[in-house]
């Protein structure tokens, strides 16, 4: 059956069901004119090939790459797909409520934009364009230290909810300045990335010669330039460094890049506000667990003492539901909104978020859990 015939048949059937002859008439007119509207993305994954068409090969590889053999990159998705949901019926789902309180903020739904650097590679409007899309979608944007735009300019671009992600600088005065500037710009939470003390092994970057842009740092008496060190990253960061930042930071602090339950327990012991269970989008150490696999042990380790978020592999609203069922308070997305940014700028960012939000609401209703606080492991099909 030709695509045009199939569309006419489906829309005609729908029109008959809901009593909408005008809908059928519109389709008939489109067919007679020989112009069925071109397809637009109906899910987040459909933005990726469109983004690939618009980006340079280098920019696309930079966005898409994982570490080394990219085993963890694939695993982030495979692990989500392996989890099954349990549909429940005869539950009043006439209202689905996704609102939550998160680290002192009231959010309409449990999705945030993860910090991503170099957004000018994706769109000439860069981070301010993302901020405009975030504001339109009502979502919190986590601004990266690696942004191509100053945080003050991002904050001015749109009154979006902002958090700030910090890479600790070797120059502690620079680190203090970054934190204080982010607070002055309106950042509500400080996310300190703790999983990147050295340059990761990323084969795609090597092929493009991108890793040669990082300045090596001598590491032995022979003055050997090790390829894993850079002035931009501080390999001496410890728990004592985090305590120092806590001494002057005025916002809650969340550690990003936690997989090991021991590290999550230490974060709770130290009195931090939360952790983000993350493998850096599978861009750092290959062959680690998927974030959704690491989540349950982290949840058990902190025993409810701190807030847990999850980052990595989220592509569907069902993924959001699964993460919350396993103990995350909310999730962050990275590559998906960058695909949207590359395709349509702020409107693309907004559309990606709205798609995920709608899918989450549908998944909650069909699982019989219309309120966010009702979601727990009972929403998952039990493993045998």
Alpha-carbon gap, residue 251 to 283, rounded angstroms? 28
Alpha-carbon gap, residue 75 to 87, rounded angstroms? 25
Alpha-carbon gap, residue 235 to 244, rounded angstroms? 16
**Distances, alpha carbon 164 to alpha carbons 130, 143, 167, in Å:** 14, 5, 10
Catalytic residue among 123, 135, 231, 280: 280
CA dihedral 212, 218, 219, 220 (to 10 degrees): 130
Task: Tell me if 359 sits within 8 A of 98, measured CB to CB.
Answer: no
Instruction: Give strand pairing partners of 166.
Output: 192
**Closest residue by Cα to residue 141 from 116, 117, 165, 162:** 162
Other beta carbons within 10 Å of 267: 26
Alpha-carbon gap, residue 244 to 68, rounded angstroms? 34
| DSSP per residue, 21-59 | HHHHHHHHHHHHTT-PPPP--SSGGGHHHHHHHHS-HHH
Alpha-carbon gap, residue 10 to 65, rounded angstroms? 39
Alpha-carbon gap, residue 96 to 319, rounded angstroms? 17
The answer to whether residue 231 is catalytic is: no
How many Å from the N-terminal Cα to the C-terminal Cα in the chain?
Answer: 42
Half-sphere exposure of 192 (CA within 13 A, CB side): 28
Catalytic residues: 280
């Amino acid at each position: 059956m030709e695509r045009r015939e199939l569309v006419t048949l489906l829309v005609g059937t729908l029109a008959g069901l809901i009593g909408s002859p005008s809908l059928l008439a519109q389709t008939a007119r489109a067919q007679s004119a020989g112009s069925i509207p071109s397809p637009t993305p109906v899910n987040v994954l459909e933005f990726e090939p469109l983004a690939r068409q618009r980006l340079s090969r280098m920019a696309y590889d930079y966005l898409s790459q994982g570490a080394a053999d990219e085993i963890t990159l694939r695993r982030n998705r495979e692990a989500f797909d392996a989890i099954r949901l349990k549909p429940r019926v005869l539950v009043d789902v006439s209202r689905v409520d996704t609102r939550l309180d998160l680290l002192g903020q009231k959010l309409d739904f449990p999705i945030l934009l993860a910090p991503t650097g170099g957004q000018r590679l994706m769109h000439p409007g860069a981070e301010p364009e993302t901020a405009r899309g975030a504001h339109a979608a009502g979502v919190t944007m986590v601004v990266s230290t690696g942004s191509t735009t100053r945080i003050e300019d991002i904050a001015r671009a749109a009154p979006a909810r902002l958090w700030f992600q910090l890479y600790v600088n070797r120059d502690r005065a620079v680190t203090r300045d970054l934190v204080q500037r982010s607070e002055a710009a309106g950042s509500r939470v400080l996310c300190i990335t703790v999983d990147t003390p050295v340059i990761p092994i990323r084969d795609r970057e090597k092929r493009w010669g991108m890793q040669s842009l990082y300045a090596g740092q001598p590491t032995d008496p022979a003055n050997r330039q090790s390829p894993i060190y850079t002035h931009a990253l501080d390999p001496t960061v410890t728990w004592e460094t985090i305590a120092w930042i806590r001494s002057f930071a005025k916002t809650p602090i969340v550690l990003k890049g936690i997989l090991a339950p021991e590290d999550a327990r230490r974060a709770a012991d130290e009195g931090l506000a939360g952790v983000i269970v993350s493998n850096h989008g599978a861009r750092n150490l290959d062959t680690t667990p998927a974030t959704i696999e690491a989540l349950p042990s982290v949840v058990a380790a902190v025993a409810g003492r701190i807030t847990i978020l999850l980052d990595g592999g989220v592509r569907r609203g069902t993924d959001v539901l699964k993460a919350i069922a396993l103990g995350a308070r909310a999730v962050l997305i990275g590559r998906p909104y960058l695909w949207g940014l590359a395709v349509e700028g702020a409107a693309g960012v907004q559309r990606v978020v709205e798609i995920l939000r709608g899918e989450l609401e549908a998944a909650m209703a069909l699982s019989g859990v219309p309120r966010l606080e009702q979601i727990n492991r009972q929403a998952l099909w039990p493993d045998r």
